[in-house]
Amino acid sequence: MTGTPTMSLPDRLRAIVGAAHVITDPAAMAPYLLDWRKRYQGAAQAVVRPATTAEVAGVVAACAHARVPVVPQGGNTGLVGGATPSPTGEAVVVSLARLNRVRAVDTANDTITVEAGCILKNVQEVARQHGRLFPLSLAAEGSATIGGNLSTNAGGTQVLRYGNARELTLGLEVVLADGTIWSGLRALRKDNTGYDLKHLFIGAEGTLGIITAATLKLFPLPRAQATALAALPSLQAAVSLLEAARADAGSTLTAFEVMGVNCLTRTVAELPRLRMPLPADQPWYALLEISDHEGEAHATALLEAILTEASAAGHVKDAVIARSLAESQALWALREGIPEAHARAGGNVKHDISLPVSEIPAFVAETHAALAARFPWTEPAVFGHLGDGNLHYNIGTQPGTPIAVAFEHEAEINRIVYEAVAARGGSISAEHGIGQLKQGLLPAYKPTVELALMRRIKQALDPYNVMNPGKIL
């Protein structure tokens, strides 16, 4: 007498989501197995594309039963390898791309409930159609998904005013490591009924569960926005300008970006569609934006007053204010084009760091000097969200030195940068996450007690380590 044949895991997955949505062909799986920066090449048993939360739960339960690792993936735009499986080929990649529905928009409560596979830009557009603003904004918004944004606690350009992804989230729906569904899609701004569990999953990079939907905050659309680019004699001048702009504009100051002049000149050189509206004769440039609820004239006048005062104080050497939407978009295109331009030029050793704003000028000066003393061929390319203390402190090479040389010395460059960050009370990851790239660095820069607490949480929620193993911890 023979027993009933045991169904294989791929067959179980096909029974849950349909054969068309379980991909096992190597060529078809290939785009899911390589990270955006092409640093990490993984392998997998299958790529599964569920269309509902129930299907996600079924997939996770089947994988958990078989003790097979699960790697959640959104738009695959991450920069630290957090959504790429290991090369062993054991894992199942769960793509959330088909969970792309907007479930509800509540304008009276200023909330929107969306599934994890919704493209960020599409969520912004739906909010705008209802006369509301969803303020999370970043360069990859045309392909990044809400689930990925929440899993890495994405920041972007408007954190100064609205906060990062964590602060924009009211409720979550999550599939836990055993396939259980936690339905926590509350649309409440006040709920003191114990632990706020959603914060465990935001920023956890899929290591504790899979976010399948979220209830997010909306805001009134501003009546007008005023944008300016200012040329600055120093990074300290940028900090002084930020302080003055906050004092005069308050919460209407929605963005304050800083860029080294070499970032902008490289961007214009590599992307001929862009142009520099000011002479490239100062070491630093700031991009400011004010979102106003009174009107365009009021916003522009406020921005002009801030820049005039800063110019009199010697903090601003030159400035241009956008006089139309097209001009504003052109200024933002300069800032948003920096990563693309550097990628075209061969890339660089990247650091996504955060510091108290007051510490940034000294950190940059000291770290530039330390790198130049050890590696005279380095050329820092620094830009980022000065308003919330987040710098992209990237290290390239001077003309005549191939960029490959920088990557050969990446470990030591990282050590110099991260030790300087730690000495000034900063973080080695501000908005990109830990993933695979920085997983081995946490013990050196994270307190032992914090790491122990994180491991205890991981053990409690994912005792068999099936959720995105090898990331963060």
Q: Average per-residue pLDDT in the chain?
A: 95
Residue 79 lies inside a defined structural domain of this protein: no
Q: What angle do CA 206, 24, 29 make, to 5 degrees?
A: 60
pLDDT of 4 above 60? no
Co-location of 150 and 248 in the same domain: no
Nearest to 138 by CA among 243, 257, 263: 257
Exposed / middle / buried, residue 159 (Cβ in 10 Å: 0-12, 13-18, 19+): buried
Q: What is the pLDDT of residues 320-364, one digit of tens each?
A: 999 998 999 999 999 999 999 988 988 899 999 999 999 999 999
Tokens of 293: 């609820």
Q: What is the pLDDT of residues 227-263, one digit of tens each?
A: 999 999 999 999 999 999 999 999 999 999 999 999 9
- For residue 1, what pLDDT is reported? 42
Co-location of 199 and 248 in the same domain: no
Residue 236 lies inside a defined structural domain of this protein: yes
Tokens of 416: 């110099």
Exposed / middle / buried, residue 332 (Cβ in 10 Å: 0-12, 13-18, 19+): buried
Domain that residue 141 falls in:
102-220
Which residue, 288, 306, 340, sits at the end of a domain?
340
Nearest to 353 by CA among 418, 425, 422, 429: 429
Q: Are 105 and 112 in contact (CB under 8 A)?
A: yes
Which residue, 340, 374, 394, sits at the end of a domain?
340
Report how far residue 173's alpha carbon sits from residue 180's, in angstroms, rounded to the nearest whole number: 11
Co-location of 313 and 404 in the same domain: no
Co-location of 157 and 247 in the same domain: no
Give the pLDDT band (50/70/90) at residue 294. Answer: confident
Residue 315 lies inside a defined structural domain of this protein: yes
Co-location of 377 and 333 in the same domain: no
What's 399's domain CATH number? Answer: 3.30.70.2740
Q: What is the pLDDT of residues 298-319, one digit of tens each?
A: 999 999 999 999 999 999 999 9
Nearest to 351 by CA among 384, 388, 377: 384
Tokens of 317: 């050497």
- For residue 6, what pLDDT is reported? 76
Residue 184 lies inside a defined structural domain of this protein: yes
What's 212's domain CATH number? Answer: 3.30.465.10
Q: Are 116 and 95 in contact (CB under 8 A)?
A: no
Co-location of 333 and 403 in the same domain: no
Co-location of 235 and 296 in the same domain: yes
Q: What is the pLDDT of residues 101-133, one digit of tens each?
A: 999 999 999 999 999 999 999 999 999 999 999
Tell me how many domains the chain contains: 3
Q: Are 35 and 81 in contact (CB under 8 A)?
A: yes
pLDDT of 3 above 80? no
pLDDT of 85 above 80? yes
Residue 3 lies inside a defined structural domain of this protein: no
Nearest to 151 by CA among 103, 116, 193: 116
Q: What is the pLDDT of residues 152-179, one digit of tens each?
A: 999 988 999 999 999 999 999 999 999 9
With pLDDT > 70 as the criterion, what percentage of the chain qualifies?
99
Co-location of 247 and 269 in the same domain: yes
Co-location of 309 and 412 in the same domain: no
pLDDT of 5 above 80? no
Residue 150 lies inside a defined structural domain of this protein: yes
Q: Are 225 and 291 in contact (CB under 8 A)?
A: yes
Give the pLDDT band (50/70/90) at residue 295. Answer: confident
Residue 119 lies inside a defined structural domain of this protein: yes
Co-location of 214 and 228 in the same domain: no
Co-location of 241 and 208 in the same domain: no
Nearby residues of 377 by Cβ (< 8 Å), 6 or more positions away: 397, 398, 400, 401, 405
Report how far residue 406's alpha carbon sits from residue 401's, in angstroms, rounded to the nearest whole number: 9
Co-location of 205 and 289 in the same domain: no
Residue 416 lies inside a defined structural domain of this protein: yes
Tokens of 128: 């705008």
With pLDDT > 90 as the criterion, what percentage of the chain qualifies?
92
3-class DSSP state of 138: coil
pLDDT of 18 above 60? yes
Nearest to 350 by CA among 33, 81, 41, 34: 81
Which residue, 322, 340, 358, sits at the end of a domain?
340
Q: What is the pLDDT of residues 395-452, one digit of tens each?
A: 999 999 999 999 999 999 999 999 999 999 999 999 999 999 999 999 999 999 999 9
- For residue 418, what pLDDT is reported? 97
Taking the CA of residue 28 as centre, how many other CA atoms within 13 Å lie in the half-sphere pointing to its CB?
11
